[in-house]
Every structure is written in C-alpha cells, then in structure tokens.
Structure 1
C-alpha cells in the first residue's frame, strides 16, 4: 500500500514533465511517418516503367517507420550499412525523457517522501513501476500516431505489413521469409526492450549519475545498431532482425528472456546500490 501511495505521488509530480516529453515523442513520430511517406513516394516515382506496387499504408506499414531497424554492420561490400535513424530517435527520446526525475525526486521534500515510505525498497520499487509505466506511455503514443496515419490513409488498424513496403523502404529483402508479415510479431519485443532499457538506465543513474546513465544507454543503442549478441539487446526491437521477417532472426521468446534478465538484474543491483547510499545531509550531483 505504501508503494502504491509513493507511486501516486510520483505520477502527480511528473504530470507536467511527462506530458511535455510525450508531446515531443508524438511530434517526432509524426515527422518520422511523414519522412516514410516521402521515402515511399520517391521510390515509387523512381521505379521502372511497368512495375506496380501494392502498398496499403496499414498500421503495420507505419510502425516500420519507427522500428524497421537495420542489419548489423559487417564491414563487407555486399550490403551498405544504413543507420536506423527513426529507431534511434524514438529510444533516445525515451531515455532522455526518463532520465532526471528518479534522482531529482530525492531532493527537498522528496526526502520526507522517502521517510514516509517506511522502506527504501518500497521507494525503489515505486520508481521501477514509474519507469515501466512511463515507457508504456511512450510506446502507446507512437502506436496512436501510427494508428492515426493509417486511419487517414483509409487502411484501418491492421497489423499486416505490405510486402511491397519492405522493398520500397530498402528493407533487407534478400533475406526475407515468405509473406504474410505483421508488425505484432516485433511490437511485443519493442515494449520489452523499452522497459528493460529504462530500468537499465535507472540502475546506472543511481550508480554513476544521471548523465552517465544517459550516456551509457545511448552507447548501448549505438552498439545494438552496429553489432549483435546479448550486449546489444536493444536490437531485439528491430524488425530487420526479427525471425518473423528475416531468416535466422531472433524469436520473441529470446527477446523476453534476455531483456528479462537485464530488467531483473537492473532492479536488484540498482535497489541494493540505493539501499547502501547516503540520501540525507548532502545534495547528490547529477
């Protein structure tokens, strides 16, 4: 019950700042989907005569505008590496939007809230739930913007992805599995990755400071874009590496397992570190 009261106070204290960041997220999502429409339009205009494409601009098609991702960087000449700009912008915005409040909430009146919680672990679990809930709001914002675009296009809320869309946005189509494709196959991993990344940053911010936490999270995003392996767990949120789209891609169970380990470890390590730190009598530096 104390954890719930602490969580309610967190929500009330961050209504304004959360609203600002969600508005920024919505604005960036709109820009990314407009860019997707322009990219597809230019590809259609440059197509050879006689070629026809069937792109419905469904909800699933628009979600690729955020989370199409990229193939790992191999250094070979057979495939040009294209940085996943939309994917990186969304996650970086999420990281920055969640960065400051947890540590800043310990200042001033926040220390009285910590005392009122009766337990440091209660306070810590409330912050973990706040991070997870905020992440879900970011994901819901991106989903609602994509849904709005699909409704304007007249395609409705369909998770299906048009095969021709993959070709037009230069998806790694030479490795594609057979149709049908649907965005639901990787959107679950997007949510899991986003929550684990938020908790990972929360842990680092209490271990090394907010700026260090943001820097490490941004570095992890870059490492995930360029490489493979568990250290780049954020790549699980890319459709270009999803087993439902490409051969030898990851499975949702793999994403849940790896990200679950990251999330649990982050909560435990961060909680232990917070319980051992000095919270009173001095102001923490960011």
Structure 2
C-alpha cells in the first residue's frame, strides 16, 4: 500500500515536473512526421516507382526512428548522423534525467521516512522512469497515427520495399514485409534499460555527466555496428533481417533486460548506503 502511494506521488509529480519536455517531444514528433510525409511524396514524384510508396504508419516510423545503415569509413563516404533518431532519444534521456534527484534534494530524509525506506523510494523511481519511457513512445506512436489518418494513409505496419531507398539503405537481404517488433518493441526496451542505467550512474556522478555518457553511447552506437553497443538494437535498419552483420531481436531483448535488472539492483544497493545529505552526484 505504501509503495502504491509513493508510486502515485512519483507519477503525478514526475509528470508535473517534465510535462513541458513532453510538449517539446510532441512538437518534434509532428515535425518528424511532416518530414517523413514530404520525403515520401518527393520520392514518388522524383523516382516514379511502379508502386508509389505510401506514408503509412510503418513507413513513417521506420524513416523517423529507423536509425541508419552501417557506416563504413572510407574516402567519399562522410558520416551522416541519424538526426531524428539521435535527437529523439537524447530528448527522452533528458526527460527522465533530473526529477529523481531534484525530488531527493527538495524533500530529502522526510520523504524517505514517509515512504517506508530507501528501497521503496528507489523502486518507485525505477517504475516512474520506465513509465516515462512508455509514455514517450505512446506519444510518438499516437502523433504518427493521427498524422497517417489526417493525410489519408493507413495504420499498416507493412513496409514498402522502396522505403529502404528513402532511408538511404541497400538491404543485404530481401526486406521482410514488416519489422514491427524491431520498430515498436525493441527501441522501447532499449531506452528503458538505457534510462535506468543513466539514473543509476547518476548515483556515482552528477546527472549532467551521466547524460553525457548516454549521449556518447548513442553516438558510438551510430558509428559502430556492434552487439556491445546497445543503441544498435534501437535501430530497425540495423536488424540482422536486412543487414548481413546486423543485430538480432532476441539478443537485443536479452541484453536490454539484463541491463535493466542490473541497473535496478545496483542502484538500490548503492542508494541504500548513499549519504543523501551530500546532495546529488
């Protein structure tokens, strides 16, 4: 019962302290959908494919959140940053960055006493963090779905073969009809794990520096295709179903769950011994 009250407190106050960032995310998602729609329309006009590409939910989500093809450093091949992918997930990491530690600084020992102990406080913050990630993705999906309906396109997750050309990728294999788990499930799980890692890391260093670490992980993941760079699993275009040395869905889910669980456990153990009077970091 005490945990439920504490969780409700975190969900309510956490959203109250971050709702402006969700508004910023909503604006960004609108821009991303409009960009995807314009790019698809321009491709149809310029390339004149036999079957025009539709700005469906699956196609637009892949364009916005697909990430990028493998980068091979060589002359004449500049590194093209996957801007939408990177900015979206940096914004998500920023949304969850400060609230837990601002709450601790503001109320300190009083709320720990009322909550029944440090473990419940930490667990509640972990659930709030994951809930924030889920809310972020639900917001993105909802805006893209509304955009599809407004523009007269379907909510199908089936992918057009030409969408990969629009994403500036040449698949190594015949693209599957859909990459729904890679587009919807795996990025959410990866970012939940990465955000919990960031929150746990903020127990050792200041939240700002843990955010820099998160940004570095995402940047390195964009530059290198590796199963050890977790950001690769959040890129549907890096799936082993379309890229010869891509990353697998099951491996990505396993790695994400392991990081998530370890972050919760390690964070709980560290916070149990943390001197909260010293402030953050």
TM-score (norm 1): 0.90
Structure 2 counterpart of 1:130, from 112, 128, 131:
128
Instruction: Indicate how the Cα distance of structure 1 residues 225 and 62 shifts in structure 2: closer, same or farther if over 3 A, else same.
Output: same
**1:69 counterpart SS class:** coil
Structure 2 gaps of 5+ residues are: none
Q: Say which is worse superposed, 203-212 or 236-245, in terms of deviation.
A: 236-245
The Cα of 1:53 is off from its aligned counterpart by 4.2
**Residues 1:8 and 2:5 are matched in the alignment:** no
Deviates more, 1:144-153 or 1:73-82: 73-82
Task: Give the match for residue 73 of structure 2.
Answer: 75
Aligned pairs, number: 281
SS of the aligned residue for 1:155 comes to coil
Q: Does the Cα contact within 8 Å between 1:40 and 1:169 map onto a contact in 2?
A: no
Q: Which residue of 1 aligns with 2:22?
A: 22
Q: Note if 1:114 corresponds to 2:112.
A: yes
The C-alpha deviation readout for 1:173-230, integer Å capped at 9, x for no partner, is 2424244233344321111111001101101111111111111111111111111334
CA 1:44–1:54: 2 relative to 1, 3 Å: closer
CA distance in 2, matches of 1:165, 1:188: 20
- Which among 146, 163, 166 is matched to residue 148 of structure 1? 146
Aligned-pair CA distance for 1:80: 5.0
Partner of 1:191: 188
Q: Which runs of 5+ in 1 are unaligned?
A: none
- Contact kept? 1:71, 1:81, Cα under 8 Å: no
Distance 1:51 1:59 in 2: 19
Contact 1:181 1:244 in 2 (8 A): no
Determine helix, strand or coil for the equivalent of 2:204: helix
Aligned partner (choices 61, 64, 68) of residue 62 of structure 2: 64
Secondary structure in 2 aligned to 1:175? coil
The DSSP-based 3-state class of the residue aligned with 2:203 is: helix
**CA RMSD across the alignment:** 2.0
Q: CA deviation at 1:77?
A: 4.8
CA deviations over 1:1-49 (Å, ceiling 9, x no partner):
32221111111212323322211111101111222223333334433xx
- The aligned counterpart of 2:202 is 205
TM-score normalised by L of structure 2: 0.92
**Secondary structure of the residue that 1:244 maps to in structure 2?**
coil
The CA deviation at 1:89 is 0.9
Take 1:17 and 1:28, find their aligned partners in 2: how far apart are those partners?
Answer: 19
* Structure 1 residues 275 and 197: CA distance shift in structure 2, 3 A: same
Cα deviation for residue 81 of structure 1 reads 3.4
